[in-house]
């Protein structure tokens, strides 16, 4: 059918051309250049012009079609390449999840000449190095990737993680600061940078950033948690002051704003005591003791009264604290220990005999009974009590432990560097009381 249609069109074209030749037999002058001309028949000139125009139109159509075909071929080629890259990336991601990091890198670097030009693939490559515990290789890769793809926030976040694992907190902070320039509203980047400032001891920078974080929080529960962090940062930032009196004022202001924040009370009293203002320190610690019967406060007050030769004040303080906080079982242990140290052995015996059953069987209590019997000269009962204590030395005022990360400490501090939290150190007596309560 197509052949017959082509033959009919060709026949019509020939008939039309012959008809034009028949109607235009006269010659016509055609000037090609100013000095050169031709005199073909008019019909030949017309048919030549028509054929030339048809050839030009056909040539333009062929060029346009070829151009469309070239672009279509390139698009298909690019699509196949991107599909292959996507398949390799998915396979590499699965290998990372499976823990096969070397094969994952091989998949990601296939068909690549050096560092990839895609931020996602660079991030996945860096993750393989980090998972293998090689932050130096991850940092080198990320530096090259950032130079190639620009300041991508995801890559900068990974660079900060690699620098932090290398122990270079300053470089980690700089990377996160650059990441925040690209995404200033990201709460995740803000918290990461705040935690880095905290780890690096840059308390004022962390405090400033914490204020920005809290401005973007709407939920009451989340805001309460961030307020706790704000108090801790204010506590640490106060120590950056060079004037000891100003440090004490800042800590007292923080303590009055949040009476349950124990580190502020303890450290404020410490600064006042170091400055020679022992009466003010005693008042601060006694005021804090009204809010919570912490062992560290009792230890501070006991030591202060002992240095002034007034142990009876400590006895009255313990009795008053027991009446005010009858639920604080740790105070009972500390009171019994104080009575033993001061020689009030009969009163100490009554105090130990009146302990709750769960606390009476604790190793610390047995250690106190052992010391009591030893001071009375009853070595046999003392040995039995110390044996029940399983080697406990009863030093529950001199040793502390973090309630969050279990990190031990020889002396009390308001900040735990292990879990980066505040007010978590508890004395051995408090641990014993909490264990008995459970």
Domain ranges of the chain: 1-65, 88-129, 173-179+187-212, 241-326, 328-438
- Distance between CA atoms of residues 400 and 194, nearest Å: 27
Of 50-59, 249-258, 326-335, 374-383, which has the strongest mean pLDDT?
249-258
What mean pLDDT comes out for the span 174-191? Answer: 89
- Distance between CA atoms of residues 236 and 232, nearest Å: 6
Name which of 7-11, 160-164, 234-238 the model is least confident about.
7-11
270 vs 363, more confident: 270
Yes or no: say if 302 and 335 are a contact pair by the CB < 8 Å rule.
Answer: no
The DSSP string of 140-189 is HHHHHHHHHH---HHHHHHHHHHHHHTT-HHHHHHHHHHHHHH-TT-HHH
How high is the pLDDT of residue 251? 93
How high is the pLDDT of residue 252? 92
What mean pLDDT comes out for the span 299-318? Answer: 89
268 pLDDT band (50/70/90 cuts)?
very high
- Distance between CA atoms of residues 426 and 329, nearest Å: 14
How high is the pLDDT of residue 235? 93
How high is the pLDDT of residue 77? 81
On the question of pLDDT at 88 being above 50, the answer is yes
**What value does the mean pLDDT of the chain take?**
83
What mean pLDDT comes out for the span 102-122? Answer: 79
What mean pLDDT comes out for the span 198-222? Answer: 88
CATH code matching the domain that covers 241-326, chosen among 1.25.40, 2.30.30, 1.10.1740, 3.40.50? 1.25.40
Yes or no: say if 27 and 40 are a contact pair by the CB < 8 Å rule.
Answer: yes
């Amino acid at each position: 059918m197509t052949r017959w249609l082509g033959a009919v069109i060709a026949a019509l074209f020939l008939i039309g051309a012959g008809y034009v030749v028949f109607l235009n037999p006269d010659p016509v002058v055609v000037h090609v250049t100013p000095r050169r001309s031709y005199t073909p028949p008019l019909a030949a000139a017309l048919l030549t012009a028509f054929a030339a125009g048809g050839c030009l139109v056909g040539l333009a159509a062929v060029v346009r079609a070829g151009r469309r075909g070239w672009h279509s071929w390139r698009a298909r080629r690019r699509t196949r390449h991107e599909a292959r890259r996507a398949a390799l990336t998915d396979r590499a991601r699965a290998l990372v999840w499976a823990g096969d990091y070397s094969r994952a890198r091989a998949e990601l670097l296939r068909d690549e000449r050096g560092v990839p030009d895609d931020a996602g693939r660079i991030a996945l490559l860096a993750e393989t190095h980090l998972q293998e515990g090689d932050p130096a290789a991850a940092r080198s890769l990320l530096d090259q990737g950032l130079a190639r793809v620009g300041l991508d926030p995801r890559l900068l976040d990974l660079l900060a993680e690699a620098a932090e694992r290398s122990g270079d907190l300053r470089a980690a902070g700089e990377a996160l600061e650059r990441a925040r320039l690209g995404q200033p509203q990201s709460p995740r980047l803000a918290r990461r940078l705040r935690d880095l400032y905290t780890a690096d001891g840059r308390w004022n920078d962390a405090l400033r950033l914490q204020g920005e974080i809290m401005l973007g929080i709407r939920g009451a529960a989340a805001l309460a948690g961030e307020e706790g962090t704000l108090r801790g940062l204010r506590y640490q930032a106060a120590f950056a002051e060079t004037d000891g009196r100003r440090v004490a004022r800042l800590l007292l202001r923080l303590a009055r704003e949040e009476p349950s924040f124990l580190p502020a009370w303890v450290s404020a009293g410490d600064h006042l005591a170091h400055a020679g203002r022992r009466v003010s320190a005693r008042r601060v610690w006694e005021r804090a003791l009204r809010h919570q019967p912490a062992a560290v406060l009792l230890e501070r007050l006991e030591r202060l009264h002992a240095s002034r030769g007034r142990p009876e004040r400590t006895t009255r303080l313990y009795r008053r604290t027991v009446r005010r906080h009858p639920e604080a079982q740790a105070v009972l242990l500390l009171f019994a220990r104080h009575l033993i140290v001061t020689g009030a052995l009969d009163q100490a015996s009554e105090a130990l005999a009146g302990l709750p059953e769960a606390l009476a069987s604790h190793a610390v209590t047995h250690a106190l009974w052992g010391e009591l019997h030893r001071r009375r000269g009853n070595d046999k009962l003392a040995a039995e009590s110390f044996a029940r204590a399983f080697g406990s030395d009863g030093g529950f005022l001199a040793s502390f432990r973090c309630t969050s990360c279990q990190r031990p400490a020889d002396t009390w501090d308001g900040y735990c560097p292990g879990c980066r939290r505040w007010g978590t150190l508890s004395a051995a007596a408090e641990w014993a009381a909490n264990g008995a309560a459970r």
